Structure 1
């Protein structure tokens, strides 16, 4: 080998080692992260951040593909039929996995059989909200008001069969009270009418409620998780307010098509855990009203099974059904 050839070979070797050390060489082709929710929603925001982090720490460049529709079910149906070779993942919420198969008559996937769970990422407790003019400042006071004024109050939700609707249905069932349900198309209109007094009560996500709370037009009186949340430490849980054991919290996890190789799932699960526990990622989740949560593949699989059983029961009891 002449001097020029040896120099070129050494340069190429050094460059390759440099790229490998920096983690910027993508040995595999690009992967797809399918997200079944519109751009700008919290799942989409977190998904894009996740794709960026995974592109830095794995052998693939991960590209986000938006596929909104039917509250996340369109994306899940598509992913269930995509190649199970480690090149496809989806970020999905509990409503699409544990709720929609029992709400819609035309869902084309099985939440257990059609996916390989990779890991849990975060959850997002709901706030129990009232119009500021309503003379109640706690859940016990709200329940007492409902019993004293039967048929007079209504509650809003972002849609029939939404987690907000189901959480309220369960609260009313367990407390033996009732209100009229007024479903909307999305949280913005639901909360705007709550602030305006057209409806008096609602359950909704922390991030969606924050601007209305800041205006003073609505009041938070309880939170749907078993534990209080760090961003609103003074808001008691529904459970400690008298409905013992109440825990109605939507969550988000990462999945791949069923049959994805176990080594690929395990590697992605490890990387996901590191990302979720990182300071900047956790801070972003919290800013959107969520709580970072980690559960590796096997644990997430067990959790998913239990959640499918639990939410199917809640839906059956509520009588909610969608076409």
Structure 2
């Protein structure tokens, strides 16, 4: 009988600054060691009573199932890890969770040698959009520093690798198809032997508050009208995250941030490969002065406003505005702010 995946929370971090801290404590995901022995890892998976499979379909949806060892396809582990031959099926070994080893399987085009039911069981588990829902069913809380349950951490790691492997298939110098190495965490050109590793793009996101504790939110031109979130943008080459915050806010709404810009939390956001760096800053203005200081760049921002807590709740309830994605760090900060959380 298949085991229902149960979230297991790890101990709270003493450093309440990250959504995605180093997962080396009991009860959370243990990532592979730097020395990655393929044969040893394959043996550990095959000798475990069960294995958690994370399946990602061509639509970027994620499903998880804890499968008994005897129910796994006989050639699954070797095909993904490349035991005795180059890896022939896209996937990766993610480490071990409280439920045993965790293996990711990437379906880019519907051409895997096994059916979904062979891999995930019948009936298959629910497929999730990780922008809106995590496998544990819990909302991430980066502000408290509580580590993610292992199944959520593994799912986000799998999706980050899926995004990278989907778009990184050939050596840019020789156009050779990459060989998969290091349990799915590295690629190597068979001709020049140059390795490739997952790319991560740092992006700032900022909670700007005025003297009345109102929060600055914007409606980006790329979003539906009425969807408001924190201002955000990518960190440029040679730029600190703090300077990126000041630059992006000024570019998007022409609002200077002369006061301190403080880091608060981070979040992995594999859509496709961002590491979100949440900062806070408070301006010296309030009321009408703060409102009149906003001059949105119409090429990027449709509308920008300062919201009080009461105003935000009323407009969400009325349906005139919609919040950001359910698992995003912006949504987590808004929950924190609505509950009276302070940034000073």
TM-score (norm 1): 0.25
Q: Identify the structure with the greater helix proportion.
A: 1
Using CA pairs under 8 Å that are at least 6 residues apart, name the structure with larger relative contact order, 1 or 2: 1
Q: Identify the structure with the greater strand proportion.
A: 2
